Amino acid sequence: MVQVCKGRHAIAWRPLLVENIQPCYHCTVTKENKLSPLILITNDDGIESPGLRAAAQAALPLGDVLVVAPNRQWSGAGRSLPHDLQGSIAPYSLRVNGRQPPAYQVDGSPAAAVLHGLFELSSRKPALLISGINYGENVGADITISGTVGAALEGAANGLPALAVSLQTPKETHTRPSEDIDFTAAIHFTRFFARCLLEIKLPFDVDVLKVDVPSSATPETAWRLTRVSRHTYFTSVPPERERLAEPARIDYEPLPHPEQTEPDSDIYALAVDRVISVSPLSHDLTSRVDRGVLEERFLGLKRHCLPESAC
Overall pTM > 0.85: yes
Provide the pLDDT for residue 94.
Answer: 97
Q: State the architecture of 37-310 in CATH terms.
A: 3-Layer(aba) Sandwich (3.40)
For 210-222, give the secondary structure using H, E and C.
EEEECCCCCCCCC
Provide the pLDDT for residue 160.
Answer: 97
Per-residue pLDDT tens listing for the chain (311 residues): 333 333 333 333 444 554 444 333 345 544 455 789 999 999 999 999 999 999 999 999 999 999 999 999 999 999 999 999 999 999 999 999 999 999 999 999 999 999 999 999 998 999 999 999 999 999 999 999 999 999 999 999 999 999 999 999 999 999 999 999 999 999 999 999 999 999 999 999 999 999 999 999 999 999 999 999 999 999 999 999 999 999 999 999 999 999 999 999 999 999 999 999 999 999 999 999 999 999 988 888 766 655 555 55
For 254-280, give the secondary structure using H, E and C.
ECCCHHHCCCCEHHHHHHHCCCEEEEE
The answer to whether residues 169 and 49 touch, using CB atoms and an 8 Å cutoff, is no
- The amino acid occupying position 154 is E
Give residue limits of the domains in the chain. 37-310
Provide the pLDDT for residue 24.
Answer: 39
Sign (positive or negative) of CA dihedral 215, 219, 221, 223: positive
The answer to whether residues 104 and 94 touch, using CB atoms and an 8 Å cutoff, is no
The answer to whether residues 177 and 145 touch, using CB atoms and an 8 Å cutoff, is no
